[in-house]
Structure 1
Amino acid sequence: MRRIAQLSGILLLAVVLTSCASYPKNLIRTGAVIETTAVILTDTGALFDRLHSEGKITDSEYKAWAEFVPKAQVGLNAARTAWDVLRKNPSVESPKLQEIFDIVQGLATEGARFYEDAVNRLY
């Protein structure tokens, strides 16, 4: 739950600050959101693996996670690549940062559902 709260806080803060911050600050914040999302998804994967091996998550529940992982990897890799292009080419319009943020936010939201489900199985 702490990770979900952390991610939600970061995402909300990024949305609020992105609307009134400069391009370099938005770039830094967007990069931080990408990396935080990656860490949380990695932690979720480790938790799903453990709970599945302990029989606390069914094969079908694990399959849903396993089907999400490639989508998340592709999305995060695309976001990282686009972010890097924007970092190297600051003349590119800032709205592209919002597009990257939206992709990552969607992945984070979906990943948070998996994480919350897994955490609830711990108790």
Structure 2
Amino acid sequence: MNAKDLSRAGKLLAAIVEYEAAYREIQLPVFLYNIGRLHHRLGNHEQAANYYHRFLSAAVDDDPEQRARAEEYLKQVEPRPPTSVSSAAPGISAPPPAPGAHVFAADSPSQP
């Protein structure tokens, strides 16, 4: 089976091995893209990002649609900095209300 057939059959690791061997013989950027996609599907985000970067560097004048897809996939697998919802330090939450304190929530049902 070739890499494409292995991928379609769900044998993703075997497909990666085949694409890597093919790339060693002929440095076609599409092989880097395919390896990145396979790692992405396997949840290997660091490896996927590496191959997407390599593809984008190698495929300078290639298919613009495939470049756009690679850029989008790269956004999906690259780690994002944590977003801050408050000025508190990470892992520190507001203290619970004191016993007997009244807590008002904007979405709580109003009482008659």
Q: What's the TM-score once normalised by structure 1's chain length? A: 0.33
